[in-house]
Amino acid sequence: MDRYAVAGNPVAHSRSPDIHAAFARETGQVLTYERLLCPLDAFEATVRAFAAAGGRGCNVTVPFKFEAASLASRLTPRATLAGAVNVLRFDADGWLGDNTDGAGLVSDLQRNAGRPLAGLRMLLIGAGGASAGVLGSLVAARPAEIHIVNRSPDKALALVASHQAFADHHGVRLRSGGLDQTDGRYDVVINGTSSSLSGAGLPLPQPDRLVLAAGGVAVDMMYGKPAQGFLRWAADQGGPSACLRDGLGMLVEQAVESFELWRGVRPDSAPVLAELRRQVEAAC
């Protein structure tokens, strides 16, 4: 039986096995999908051992998305742009690396939430692998501006530089700065940091500053309880008409892209997302 996994550290919380099991039942595919805990200093060895034992591919989560890119002999254009990989396919002639995070995020916002991104002013918090993975797809959605802020401003500047030509082609303004350098209000605020995993909530140093416009869109890439602190702040900022999204929709939609890359069939995300949302909300 074909084997797949989600590789990361931590990984015990991941809902990916449930998602891919549901996709397999829906599409009639025969496979297994497991959690692969990788020691921080042994990601490559762990993944190679999994592939050698019959693994056909894996998703990659924090903190290994940049390292995963170096393991692939071929990268898709969106993975090349991101410099980060969240899905590997173990082909006989060399591993293929892709990044489906951005496609998942944009699909969840524009289709599932019904919030087009074109022409909007956007704040992306964080410049690590999660933000690198989604930036290209956010640019392709043609917002007016994306302002990237990060604890280390140099990393935000480097992320802008790596996407500048792509942004220029799409007519999108990119800017960078530190976490304390937000200015004005944004139509969309996305938390791409791992602060939610530690329960830190809002990663910005001045939580009382108005950042999210009334009725704006706020997204935490984490889901369930870890995302609640950020989303409570966003609700206070954006008011009753704000659109609040945790990362569950993004997780399911990026899994659709991964499943299609591995199996050649595209599952329907709607019933899986609805059931998973019910489970997560019950757990909260």
On whether 1 is known to bind a ligand per the annotation, the reply is no
On whether 126 is known to bind a ligand per the annotation, the reply is yes
CB-based contact 122:143 (threshold 8 Å): yes
- Active-site entry in 65, 78, 121, 163: 65
On whether 129 is known to bind a ligand per the annotation, the reply is yes
Q: Examine the residue annotation and report whether 65 is marked as an active-site residue of this protein.
A: yes
On whether 15 is known to bind a ligand per the annotation, the reply is yes
- Closest by CA to 100, choosing from 127, 71, 130, is 130
On whether 239 is known to bind a ligand per the annotation, the reply is no
On whether 127 is known to bind a ligand per the annotation, the reply is yes
The tokens for 159 are 């992320």
Tally the residues of the chain.
284
Cβ neighbours of 262 (radius 10 Å) = 25
On whether 246 is known to bind a ligand per the annotation, the reply is no
On whether 254 is known to bind a ligand per the annotation, the reply is yes
On whether 171 is known to bind a ligand per the annotation, the reply is no
Percentages (nearest 5) of helix, strand, coil residues in the chain: 45, 25, 30
DSSP per residue, 53-80 = TTEEEEEE-TT-HHHHHHH-SEE-HHHH
The residue with tokens 């590997």 is 88
Residue 59: what residue type? Answer: N
On whether 14 is known to bind a ligand per the annotation, the reply is yes
The tokens for 262 are 């591995």
Instruction: Please enumerate, by residue number, every residue annotated as part of a binding site.
Output: 14-16, 61, 86, 101, 126-130, 221, 223, 247, 254
Which are the catalytic amino acids? Answer: 65
Annotated binding residues for shikimate, as ranges? 14-16, 61, 86, 101, 223, 254
Q: Which residues are annotated as a binding site for NADP(+)?
A: 126-130, 221, 247
